Amino acid sequence: MSSSKTTVRRSQADKARWERVLMRRPAWALPRLRALLHTADPQLARAALQGAFFVLERWGRAAELQGELQQALNDAKSQRALAEAAELSEALGRLHYQRGDYVQACQAWAQTLDWALDDSRAACLARIGLTHLCYALGDWARGGRVLDQAEAHYRRLAADPYLHAKVALNRAVSLRATQGPQAALPALDEALAAARAAGHHDYEAEAIWHRARCARDSGDAAEALLLARQAQGLAQRCGYRWLQAQASLLQAELQDGDLALAAAGAALSLAEVLQSRSLQAAAHGRLAELMQAQGEFGPSWYHAQQRQQLDASLGQPELPGLLEALIRFEGELPEAAAPAGELAGLLRRALGELSGLAQHVRGLPAGEIVPATQAELLRTATRVEHLLQQGLRQMAP
């Protein structure tokens, strides 16, 4: 065996070992990863940064590393380390998504798909991220189709229990929304088994929380409340703050009076720490309902206003067009086995058509097109132009 192949295999084995440690002993791993952040080896430093982000993300502290992630991304790009740049961009996408900055998340995941190999783990994670954006827009069926792509491209899914659990959890979300709670249960069983195989207690807790939501949707409030408390307890033990907030919010929905108020207040406090505007909006909404039921109309009005403002901040009108263009581009690419010349010709024809569309829209008199529609068309055409240009550059000899 050549020395280069031996080095690659050793590197992959080391990475797998570190991932197991991150899943099972994050508090032990974090200070050791921090010690490597400023090592002279840039590749090792970037790998340590991603590991530290993985730990802090589950603890609701990912924002601490935003500047370092962006700098590492810039460095990886300048060094043409595109596989690492893809992974860093995917991590930044998760950070933007959690806050509710959906356009920035979409752009980060689009960059990941530009730079990553199509069957890589980073590309799979980016497609799962796009699935989340579809769900945020209420497009559950399309989210399920994007998840199909994530699963189909990533051939090593069966041997990657962490990603296996992640895909199965998201599959359950789509199934619950489109086919009902019973349809989601087999996917949740699959997610729970994979999470336990990975030693990832966060996803164990999340699978239980999804089961609680299925029980709620089936009309079994008592079972839903029991499962929500179980999920919250496990999330607290492993420091998974996002799920703590979600489980508290579900308990606030399933209860009334002071118990519900306490649960909604806990969810709001955690959502503020996480800087998650969507979670804050949901917590304010439940507090508004509970205050109104108790006749406290002043506090109820305040929380209702807070929810309205947060919902408005989440409404990003450019997102649907941006996501539509990206998903269409992803879905309509020919098979990878097609000849390179054929692909290049297709890309050039599409680029020419889009350039013509952009020029046509720019030249339209103001009275012939609604400004908002014009802006959306321009954004869509510009984004797809960028993607096509990336493809042509990558295919250039």
Domain boundaries, the chain: 13-115, 255-311, 340-395
Please tell me the predicted confidence (pLDDT) of residue 386: 55
Residues 6+ apart with CB under 8 A from 69: 49, 53, 88, 91, 92, 95
Written as one letter, the residue type at 54 is: F
Q: What's the mean pLDDT in 220-231?
A: 97
Instruction: Please count the CA atoms within 13 angstroms of the CA of 332 that sit on its side-chain side.
Output: 12
Residue 155 DSSP label: T
Q: What's the mean pLDDT in 19-24?
A: 79
DSSP string, 176-199: HHHH-HHHHHHHHHHHHHHHHHHT
**Of 30-44, 85-99, 228-242, 376-390, which gets the smallest average pLDDT?**
376-390
3-state class percentages of the chain: helix first, strand second, coil last, to nearest 5: 85, 0, 15
Question: Distance between CA atoms of 88 and 36, rounded to whole angstroms?
Answer: 16
Question: Distance between CA atoms of 88 and 68, rounded to whole angstroms?
Answer: 10
Task: Note the pLDDT tens digit of each residue in 185-205.
Answer: 999 999 999 999 999 999 999
Question: Distance between CA atoms of 158 and 391, rounded to whole angstroms?
Answer: 30
CATH architecture type of domain 13-115: Alpha Horseshoe (1.25)
Distance of CA 307 to the CA centre of its chain: 23
Q: Reduce the DSSP state of residue 268 to 3 states and report it.
A: helix
Long-range contact pairs involving 265-268 (C-beta distance under 8 Å, separation at least 24): none
Task: Note the pLDDT tens digit of each residue in 260-304.
Answer: 999 999 999 999 999 999 999 999 999 999 999 999 999 999 999
Task: Note the pLDDT tens digit of each residue in 317-348.
Answer: 888 888 888 887 665 433 333 344 445 554 55
Please tell me the predicted confidence (pLDDT) of residue 390: 56
Checking if the pLDDT of 246 tops 70, the result is yes
CB count, 10 Å around CB of 75?
Answer: 16
Task: Note the pLDDT tens digit of each residue in 343-397.
Answer: 555 455 455 555 555 555 555 554 544 554 555 555 555 555 555 555 555 555 4
Task: Note the pLDDT tens digit of each residue in 60-73.
Answer: 898 899 999 999 99
Written as one letter, the residue type at 294 is: Q
φ and ψ at residue 39, rounded to 5 degrees:
-70, 160
Checking if the pLDDT of 312 tops 80, the result is yes
The model's pTM: 0.78
Written as one letter, the residue type at 225 is: L
**Ranges 28-42, 241-255, 374-388, most confident:** 241-255
295 burial type by CB count under 10 A (0-12 exposed, 13-18 middle, 19+ buried): exposed
93 burial type by CB count under 10 A (0-12 exposed, 13-18 middle, 19+ buried): buried
**Of 23-27, 40-44, 298-302, 392-396, which gets the smallest average pLDDT?**
392-396
Question: Distance between CA atoms of 43 and 256, rounded to whole angstroms?
Answer: 52
CB count, 10 Å around CB of 31?
Answer: 9
